[in-house]
Each structure stands twice: as structure tokens, then as C-alpha cells.
Amino acid sequence: MIQPKHSFLDWLNHHLFACPFKSHFGFDCPGCGFQRSVIALLKGNLAESFKFYPAAIPLILLILFTLLHLKIDFKSGAQIIKIAFAGIAIIIFINYIYKIYTHQLIS
């Protein structure tokens, strides 16, 4: 019988880092879902990525912009980074409140 090939992303999906917060307290932290979101994004599934962690795509874009800003030094780059960071923090907060409200913290 032929064994199906497993991709690196499938392997990664089965070897995620355990959340120490969830291990200790028994419920999700505000960052839970990020790893699965990035894997879904790498697979090209934007909707699934957003479902797992809505802040993942903006956070990745912010990291890329920050690295580019460090290299090029945009005139208003630091201000853009501060505003984007605040916006991402709000997304994370709203998502966590939503998970509390819909009882999705314990999985």
C-alpha cells in the first residue's frame, strides 16, 4: 500500500507549541490560535486563518513593515507602527471578549 505524502505544514500542524497559560490555568490565553492561523495562512486558506486568530494577518504585516522600516527608515514609520500595534491590540482584545462571551475558551 502506498503511504500518503505528508507535507511540512501537516507535520507542523501536529507539532505545535503548547500554550503554558492554557496548560496551567485550563483555558485559552489571548494568543491561542496564532500558530494554527499561521499554518492555515501558509496553506492559502485566509478564511480559516482569520477564524483561528483574526489578528494574525495584521500582525504578520506589521512585523514585515517594521523590518522594512528598520532597513529603509520611513519618515512616519514609527508613528504607523504605533497606530497599527494599538489597532492589533484592540483586535486581540475584542476577539478574546468574543471567545469569553461565546464560551470558546475551553477546547
pLDDT digits (tens, 9 = 90+) for 21-62: 988 988 899 999 999 999 999 999 999 999 999 999 999 999
Q: What is the pLDDT of residue 3?
A: 52
Does residue 107 surpass a pLDDT of 60? no
Q: Which residues neighbour 12 within 8 Å (Cβ) at sequence distance 6 or greater?
A: 39
Q: What is the pTM of this model?
A: 0.82
Mean pLDDT of 83-99: 96
Q: Report the chain's mean pLDDT, rounded to a whole number.
A: 90
The C-alpha atoms of residue 91 and residue 56 are separated, in whole angstroms, by 10
Q: What is the pLDDT of residue 87?
A: 98
- 80 in Cβ contact with 74 (< 8 Å): yes
